[in-house]
Amino acid sequence: MSEIIDRRENPRHKSAVNSQRFLKRYRAQVREAVARAIAGRKIAEADRDASISIPARDINEPVFHHGAGGKRDVILPGNKEYVTGDEIARPPAGGRGSGSGASDDGEGEDAFRFRLSREEFLDFFFEDMALPDLVKTQLAAVTLQKRVRAGYRTDGTPSNLAVVRTMRESLARRIAFQSPHAARLAELERELEALGGESADPADPRVAELLEEIEHLRRRIAAVPFIDTFDLRFRNRITQPLPIAQAVMFCIMDVSGSMDETRKDLAKRFFILLHLFLKRHYERIDIVFIRHHTTAKVVDEEEFFHSTETGGTVVSSALSLALEEMKANYPTDQWNIYVAQASDGDNWEGDSPRCLELLVNDLLPRVQYFTYVEITTGEPQNLWVHYEQARASRPNLALGRIRDRTDIYPVLRELFAKKEKAAA
């Protein structure tokens, strides 16, 4: 009979198997609970673990029980009021037990509360989103080196000695060298036993010959060493290049006078969440911050979000600078390029056609995905109108509008919604 022992480590001494079974069974309820938890937390805390609850009524299991009516015998332990033959009045029809029901405010009192790890929480949050065109024709390769095991060798340092493999080689060698002599020795000992064994006459020529050959074979067997330098095996490790997936995320934001602190805060939250999403798919991510008004420049994160400017807006300056950075530092055969642009949509009227030309001819052919979010409560601006023309011909361009904080998650989900499989 086969025995299977599960030796997987359980987080915090809890059953990982039972946890996964529970999450699989009540996936819809847990997904709704995660959505409620996300709505009430800050975006900076989106990748932390969480304690969530689902209604107890959603996890009830079907059971068999007695229906209404009929006669049955029941033994009630601790009875002090009734004796055999007494009749007990039937409870009123439609009566209920004394269990807890709804509270005064109408909310159910019973709930099942449990904790999701960070990985489980993010899995539920991102499960209906996917990066478009994630797999490229040539996966980016970074010259990182990794030491990997490559079998055994016959020489090496004592610290790399493989004891078990060495003893296995020693045993195999001793069996190979001793087996022929051992078989011959057993045959001679049986013949000697037939002639009388220890009491046999040593003067007998055949007995003397047997004793001499037996002694010779025993010396040959004893001469085989227990371990030899030929048996030594050392663990062999080699260095090989480690290819990893890498991506660069260009964050472009308008910092002109029309972009107030509220709009910048919404843009920052969108960038943070988008970066968190990319981290789930790429081992290495570079971030390039480009801020612009009438001119654009590459800055650090602190200046990107907190520096203020006045004046008008020329969006093409930022797109041109992003294109220069891609050509200089991020070749398309080595990097997965993503661009996220946030603006209030205001742009000089004569500059929007230039933005459309840069987008269609130069940027979109180079990037995996280009996302543009317009942060405004009014009607779409002229930049949005020109970007819509590009979206008609380029599938890797996504547009979204954000009015307040509650729109950030729906817009992100819409931008990276899983593509439905075409019907057969």
Residues 144-195 pLDDT 10s:
567 888 889 888 888 889 999 999 999 998 888 888 888 888 888 888 888 7
**Which stretches does DSSP call E strand in 169-295?**
234-242, 246-254, 284-292
- pLDDT given for residue 90 in this prediction: 75
The CA-atom distances, in angstroms, between 273 and each of 45, 276, 280 are: 10, 5, 11
pLDDT-derived band at 62 (thresholds 50, 70, 90) equals low
Element of type H or E holding 38 = helix 27-39
Residues 76-122 pLDDT 10s:
677 777 777 777 777 776 555 444 444 444 444 456 777 777 777 77
CATH C-level class of 246-415: alpha beta
Instruction: List CB contacts of 133: < 8 A, sequence separation 6 or more.
Output: 368, 369, 396
Mean per-residue pLDDT, 127-140 = 43
The CA-atom distances, in angstroms, between 158 and each of 169, 233, 234, 235, 310 are: 17, 10, 8, 10, 69
Half-sphere exposure of 72 (CA within 13 A, CB side): 10
- pLDDT given for residue 409 in this prediction: 72
The counts of H helices and E strands in the chain are: 11, 10
Residue of 274, 235, 246 whose CA lies nearest to 411: 274
| Highest mean predicted confidence (pLDDT) among 164-168, 311-315, 401-405 | 164-168
